[in-house]
Every structure is written in C-alpha cells, then in structure tokens.
Chains A and B, each alone.
Chain A
Amino acid sequence: MGPLAPNEIISENTNYLIAFFIGIGFGWVLESSGFSSSRKLAGIFYGYDAVVLKVFFTAAVTAMLGLLFMSLFGWIDLDLVYVNPTYLTSAIVGGIIMGAGFIMGGFCPGTSFCGAAIGKIDAMVFIAGLFIGVYGFAFTYGWLEKLYLARYMGEPKISEKLGLSDGLFGLLLILAAIGMFIVAEWAEKKFPREEY
C-alpha cells in the first residue's frame, strides 16, 4: 500500500536513493523533450513552440489520473501524499515574480539544471542567479515574513473549493487541457520559427 516511504515500507535511505533515480528519470525526460533549451521554453509565450504547455499539462493530468486510479484500487493512501499548502498572498506574489523571472531568463530551476547538464552556459548563469535570489530572500526574510505567512488556508484541494469531486474536477481539467492543446497546435502553425 503506497506511498511507500510514509508507510515505512522502505527506509529513509532507500527513499533518498530512489529519489536519485527518480531525478534521473525527471532530468532525462525533461532534456529529451527539449526543456534544456531556453528558446523552446519561452516559445509558448510567443506561440511558436507549445512544448511547455503540452508536456506540463499532459504530465499533470497523467499523474493526477494515476493517483486517483491507484487510490481507487487501494494501492495508495492519498491522505499520506503531500498536498502543497496554500498561502494565498505569497502564492500569487511569488508566482508573479517567478513569471517575470521565467520570461526574462527562459528557464525554471528544474530545466536550468538540465540545460546546465548539457553545457548551456545561459542555464548555468541562471542557476547562479537562483542562488543569489535565494540568499536575497533568506536575508530579507525579516521584512517579508508577514507577507510570507499571510492568508494561510491549510491544504485545500481545488476540487474541494469548487465543490466538485476529485474525479469530476479531473475530467474538467482533462477537457480544458485538450482544448488548450488544440489552440496551441493552431498557434504553432501560425507562428512558425526556424529550427533551433
């Protein structure tokens, strides 16, 4: 019965070891899908390359369906799976800052490591920036603490907040994603760019 580590079916050290292998899978898939290229990543915002949208939402939907079905079959206890907490203010403000960082830098932390792994110097510089940003946050935390802790809502699920069942919300998300993919493919045809 999963999840294995919280149920103590595997030890903490095994958990860390598996984390390494999961990371390999993560990095491999990211790089193979082209996420090591900042120009591909930024493409969704200009219409010429929707790889971010397609991979991201397909992955989210796949994992979500997987979790719901596994819970249905009794293979996993969803109450033991980490659900990100919601601090509304900092989620929005942090997201805005990250959005700006994304369009400027063309990377996010995970993809920057992939890019750096294959030799992209801009990715390495991005990583350097990440460190500076985190240090900056650590040292200015005093001023930001109130913002950071504001509007704590617990760990609500979207489906709870909308009054839908998990499964129904999942279906809506799937339909929305397919809709976005259709639009994205149209955009890619309309705004082609040269190979990169």
Chain B
Amino acid sequence: MNSNSKTGRSRKYLNPYLGGVLLGLVLLAANFVSGRGLGASGAIKSVVATTIEVVDRDAFNTMPFMAEYAEMHSGSPMRSWLVFQMLGVIAGGFLSGILSGRLRLQVEHSPKITSRRRLVFALAGGILFGFGSQLGRGCTSGSALSGMAVLSLGGFVTMMAIFGTAFALAYFFRRNWI
C-alpha cells in the first residue's frame, strides 16, 4: 500500500488521495478568501528584500529587482500574504509532526550515502531552487499547483519543466536516493 509508516511509534501518513483532496480544499479556500493561490518562494523573497533594505538602503533602492518588488508592496516587504502563510505552514507542519510523533532532529538520507553528502546536495539543490524560483516566478506550490488550479498556462509550463527536468536528471542522482 502506499501509506508508509515508521516503526509503531508514529502514526501512518494520510492516504495520498485524501491528502490531495484536503490540499485542494485548502487551495480552494485560499482562492475564495484571498483571490490567490498558495505559494512559498515569495516569502523567501520578502525576507531577502527586507534584509537587503535593512542592511543597505541604497543598494535596495537601486537594485532593479528589489525596486520592482518595493513597488508592489507598500510598507514593509514583510507585510505580505505569503509571509503570513509560510508562518502558518511552519506551525501546521510542526503541529502535525507533534501529533503524529514524527518530530525528530535528524538528517534524512538514504542508508547508502553519508549525512554529509546529503547535506551538500540539499544545499546545492536549495541554491538552484531558490534561483530558479525567482526566474520562474514561482515554485511548485505557487506556480505549478496554484497555477494549474486556475488553468494558467505559465503555471502549467513551469510544472512540466520542473518535473520533466527532475525525471531527466534522476538517473544521475540515483545514488542519493535508491
């Protein structure tokens, strides 16, 4: 079956279809209440924008990327829908982790590689994803998932590119996973 579980200590994961329906309802709620879908990478951008602004005001005002951002967000860049949403994500993930007994400080990796190798790849993957998400105007949550729900062409294209590339490159990184 597809609900894997750790040892008897923790609860099993939800059935993926059920999880999908619930996630779809959350996404629907977001669209109904706020007129927009979910997201994640935008919150990172907000934090980055805030730190740049705080550390070096001049740089902030002259950087074209930041200027475009500042235009859209009057007031502090942290006052953005996504930032509040991501705070909720952390809280929600944490709560779910507590209730299911999955809270544990660990480096999760395939038994065939070392922790260190996993962390190196995690960092590299994060850098690539961070960069790509800005270029692609969204990540899997914001662009692919939310985009698909509103039938956006851009969202669909981004989704195909992400998954297509990951499939194509999977062979080269198989050591890390299987």
Contact = CB atoms under 8 A, between A and B. Distances in A.
Interface of A is mostly: helix
Interface in A112-161: 112-123, 125-139, 141-142, 144-145, 147-148, 153, 155-161
Contacts of B153: 86, 153, 156-158, 160-161
Contact of B173 (A51, A82, A104, A114): A104
A155 to B, nearest CB: 7
Contacts of B32: 2-4, 70, 75-76
A121 B135 CA distance: 26
Contact of A27 (B64, B91, B122, B164): B91
B38 to A, nearest CB: 6
Interface residues of B, number: 126
Interface string A62-100: 111011001000011010111111111011111111111
A61 B17 CA distance: 11
Contact of B140 (A110, A113, A114, A188): A110
B178 A46 contact: yes
Interface in B121-178: 121-170, 173-174, 176-178
B57 to A, nearest CB: 15
Given A91-B137, A135-B48, A84 B155 contact: yes
A65 B151 CA distance: 11
A26 B44 contact: no
Contacts of A186: none
A177 to B, nearest CB: 9
Contacts of A132: 123, 126-127, 130
Given A18-B33, A99-B163, A136-B130, A119 B104 contact: yes
A176 to B, nearest CB: 11
Given A3-B32, A64-B149, A119 B20 contact: no
A33 B38 CA distance: 17
Contacts of B6: 195-196
B173 A91 contact: no
Given A132-B130, A169-B151, A105 B44 contact: no
A147 B132 CA distance: 12
Contacts of A105: 121-126, 128-129
23 contacts: A30-B23, A32-B14, A64-B150, A67-B150, A70-B28, A84-B142, A84-B146, A91-B161, A95-B162, A98-B162, A99-B162, A99-B168, A100-B169, A101-B127, A102-B140, A103-B170, A109-B129, A110-B89, A117-B93, A134-B134, A135-B48, A138-B52, A193-B178
4 smallest A-B Cβ distances: which pairs? A105-B125, A129-B126, A23-B88, A133-B130
